[in-house]
Amino acid sequence: MALDIREDGGLKATELGDQVHGLLIELADNRYLTEFSSKLSALMKLTRNLTKHQPNIEEHSKVAHLKNIRMPLKTKMLLDVKN
């Protein structure tokens, strides 16, 4: 799924990110993580409302998330090659 952050100011990407993070937190079943996430989410919403640079922020977030996703995949591929 490709999201064009510039198209809607990052709204769809933000919604998708909230859903993915919510699922990960639910699967973790950790009350401390749930509480922390709730507080962090409130701060992020406040920040989004205060800044007019949301598309730029969302683009940076997208790049960082993709790096986090790709690194374990690259590591696994390297381990598979060595074995």
pLDDT digits (tens, 9 = 90+) for 20-62: 889 999 999 999 999 999 999 899 888 877 776 667 777 888 8
**Dist CA 56 CA 54 (whole Å):** 5
Mean predicted confidence (pLDDT) in 56-78: 77
**Dist CA 16 CA 19 (whole Å):** 5
Q: How far is CA 31 from CA 28, 47, 67, 76, in A?
A: 9, 24, 27, 30
Which residue did the predictor score with more confidence, 82 or 28? Answer: 28
**1 has pLDDT over 60:** no
pLDDT of the residue at 80:
73
